[in-house]
Amino acid sequence: MPTANRSANCSNNPSHRQRQVLSLLTFPSPVCQFLWRKEGAKVRMAILALCLFVSAFGHTQSEAPVPTRLLVLDKTFNLPILWLPDEPYAPVGDWLTALKIRWVAQGSGLALKLPYQTAFLWTTTSAKVIVNGREMEVAPLLRRGEDWWLPLVSLARLLRLLAVVNPEKRMVKLAALLQSVAVKQVALGWQVSLTFSYRLPTPPKVGTLREPDRVYADFVGAALQDITLPSLPDGSPLSKMRLGQFSNEPLILRFVAETTSPLQISVVGSEIGDEGDERWHLLLFSSEQREQWLGQIRLQENISTRAIFRFWGRFEEKPTVRYEGTTLSILLPSAPLLPLDNASFTDEGLVREARVEGQGTAARLVVTLLKPAQAHWEKREQGVELVIETPFVRPRRVRLIVVDAGHGGKDPGAMSPSQPSLLEKHLTLDIAFRLKRLLEQGGYQVLLTRTDDTYLPLPDRVAIANNAGADAFVSIHLNAFPQPGGQWGTEVYYWTLQSLPLAESIYRHLLTLLGRKGNGIRQRQLYVIRHTFMPSVLVEPCYLNHPEEEALLRQEWFRERIALAIFWGIAEFFGDLPTLQKQGE
Amino acid sequence: MRWNWWLLAVTLGALAVAVVLAVYALRIPARTPTQPPATFRSWQVTLCYPDLKASRLVRFSLTIAATSEERVVEELVGRLKAPETPDLSPALPSETRLLSVRREGNVLVLDLNDAFVNPEFWQGSDVAHLRLQALVHTLCSLPNTHAIRLLVNGQVPEALGGHEEVSEPIQPDPTL
């Protein structure tokens, strides 16, 4: 492992200074003769005392830590470093997390756990450690008081990092080394793969430049070494490739490819080797290409209240998320090109299990959670992120009600038998708008799942409510019976027990205001009320294919009453009805 | 003359042998060596229909003798389209045809024709739910069947009548 710029600094070398003082005292020289003369004894004793003080002080200084800048991949730390003759030592601390290393004291040493490798023991007494069955020579650890000190050059050798040690500038850098570059043609375009000796802290940043046309990728925390670039395959749109150390602080390695025509560049994902090396795949494809593709899914954060999945690829629209209790099912545009990266998986995290199932357009990511949580999408420079959070992480002062107008677009719902026909989809939207107005006047925030005559799949309606973190969900429908006129009256449906009080209050107000027959509050596994997390109900105020109720539905005042009854039910459920009634007075 | 009597006797003998062989051949059913004989098996199932008020499921125990599970599903689909008593509601549109049946572990996958998604049949939240659940409860009474996946002409259909999502395997609603 190369250790560049390393140079000895005599002024800080205690043994050197001690030898100088010793030579003054023991060996005959003009200086010694001056010291041993009788004249001016006091002056001589003062000089001798000064020499002894300098010697002792110098010794103490050499053993004391010196403030030093330590660059670990993409992070910079200002640490006291022990500059010992063999190599610099850093105190064990937070800087190790930049390398994703965990540690615990064990007897006369430390047990260190490297990412993707088993733990190993590093002691203060032995000059050898065994990592993955291989014996490696290292400098022993140091123990001073309660603190442990790690030899940085040995650590770099263990991790296959580049260590740049500069004692004069008081600086140490630890960087991942670029090991190889490969190019190959794939179905979507051209794939460039760069392998690094250690996992990089962040994904590469990619972009395009013009005149001449070129694409680039910046790898933070990486350092360049002499490697041979592969020859460009025949028919490749790449005319030239080059590598450079774009920045030394922070360390950034830049890959540039000149192209014969304008190309796009995108990150596909990364793979981790057995030795902890990381291979990043980049996709270069035509600027005119509009095909959707999915490179890789990475679980990049996973704590008890929050998890983040990163999706690399090209998406026309954000994938649909479906909820089934503590299981999320994310419908993917295609099967990912690379395997799922589960590196951040921990037993304590919100995500208990994640796997990709199915092929092609039937592919989906199935995520098992520790507890029910809400998911929402966030756009990123490349691809998207799915952020999963446990409910009520984001406090809200105003309650949010999601109002779902049933059916829409190509799905008309029920139809009245009399002419001109009434369509359920139009009536539900009319009632939803009325309810929105009433709720907003009452101080609620309202989100409609649809605001015009469009078709919206049921999972999307659920996703709107769950992603918005709604406080209540009301789905508005109008009933129909197989035999027109065979049934009439009011029904309200719920699924979870937390929804029952909401169903009861809305049902009660519907019966009071509409005066129709009460068919009851029914517990049913209907999709929209089963998959929403918040109190949620589906209301069927009356039957569209019952002559009397159809006539009522044609009246505006009746539809207003339906909206008013639902509004009062919601307000009562939240305990706001007395306040609203006082305001009304 | 004597020679003629001999010829007549031989002809009659040959005819008699031919008749005996023909009768024997007709009495033994033809068998293809590669096809094992079909054996009938009894299947205990629970047939479910919504009641006419669409307020609950009505259950019937049934024994079906069939040579394969596919035949049983065919039989059940036929029965679900047309209940035997007028106080019950059909669970499937009358024009529904079963195109194929297969298994994915404990999930029974039914491929049906277009008539299955007739929007008029699936009107009303509770009616649609009870009808679909009648099908699901019935088929989940087959051995080792925990859920039903429904396809229409090999494709995942959209929500039935805008009420019942069928893109995922459907399990029996335990409240019914």
ipTM metric:
0.72
In percent, the amount of chain B with pLDDT more than 90 equals 33
Residue in A414, A486, A526 closest to B123 by CB: A414
Report residue B34's pLDDT band, with 50, 70 and 90 as the boundaries: low
Average pLDDT of the residues in A330-352:
82
A32-63 residues labelled b (16+ CB within 10 A) or e (exposed): eeebeeeeeeeeeeeeeeebeeebeebeeebe
* Topology of the domain comprising A174-286: Immunoglobulin-like (2.60.40)
Tokens of A225: 């070494």
Q: Name which of A304-318, A325-339, B35-49, B158-172 the model is least confident about.
A: B35-49
Mean pLDDT of A535-553: 94
Among residues A473, A495, A468, A497, the alpha carbon closest in space to that of A374 is found at A468
Q: Do B159 and A411 touch (CB under 8 A)?
A: yes
**Considering only CB atoms, which chain A residues are within 8 Å of B168?**
322, 324, 329
Question: For A70-109, what is each residue's pLDDT tens digit?
Answer: 999 988 888 899 888 888 999 988 888 888 888 888 878 8
Q: 3-state DSSP call for residue B63? A: strand
Cα A329–A372–B126 angle (5° rounding)? 70
Q: Which residue would you say has higher pLDDT here, A37 or A258?
A: A258
* Residue A286, strand partner residues: A263
Predicted confidence (pLDDT) per residue in B104-128, tens digit: 888 999 999 999 998 889 988 889 9
What's the whole-number average pLDDT of chain B? 85
Higher pLDDT, A102 or A7: A102
CATH number assigned to the domain with residue range A66-159, chosen from the 4 options 2.20.25, 3.30.457, 3.40.50, 3.10.420: 3.30.457
CB pairs under 8 A between A and B: 73
* A85 upstream amide cis, omega within 30 of 0: no
Is the per-residue pLDDT at A58 higher than 90?
no
Q: Which CATH architecture has domain A400-579?
A: 3-Layer(aba) Sandwich (3.40)
Predicted TM-score (pTM) of the model is 0.50
Residue ranges of chain A that CATH labels 2.60.40.3500: 174-286
Lowest mean pLDDT among A53-62, A456-465, A566-575, B72-81: A53-62
A173-220 tens-digit pLDDT = 999 999 999 998 888 888 999 999 998 988 899 998 888 889 999 999
Q: What is the pLDDT of residue A358?
A: 80
Work out the pLDDT band at A390, boundaries 50, 70, 90: confident
User: Is-contact A259 A215, C-beta < 8 A?
Assistant: yes
pLDDT at position A24, please? 38
CA distance A509 to chain B (A): 21
Give residue A327's pLDDT: 86
Q: Which residues contact A533 (CB under 8 A, 6 or more apart)?
A: A323, A372, A374, A391, A465, A466
Could you tell me which residue, A396 or A329, shows the higher pLDDT?
Answer: A329
> To which H or E segment does residue A280 belong?
strand A278-286
Give Cα separations from A193 to A187, A190, A279, A285, A368 (angstroms): 15, 10, 6, 14, 32
Across the range A397-407, mean pLDDT stands at: 91
**Confidence category of residue A129, pLDDT binned at 50, 70, 90:** confident
- Give start-end residues of each CATH 3.30.457 domain in chain A: 66-159
Count of Cβ atoms closer than 10 Å to residue A487 Cβ = 24
A41: left (phi over 0), alpha (psi -120 to 50) or beta: alpha
CATH class of A293-389: mainly beta
* Confidence at residue A476, expressed as pLDDT on a 0 to 100 scale: 96
> How far is it, in rounded angstroms, from Cα A355 to Cα A341?
10
Element of type H or E holding B47: strand B41-50
When CB atoms are compared, the residue of B52, B123, B165 closest to A480 is B123
Q: Strand A251-259 to strand A214-220: parallel, antiparallel, or no bridges (unpaired)? A: antiparallel
Q: Which residues contact B153 (CB under 8 A, 6 or more apart)?
A: B99, B111, B113, B114
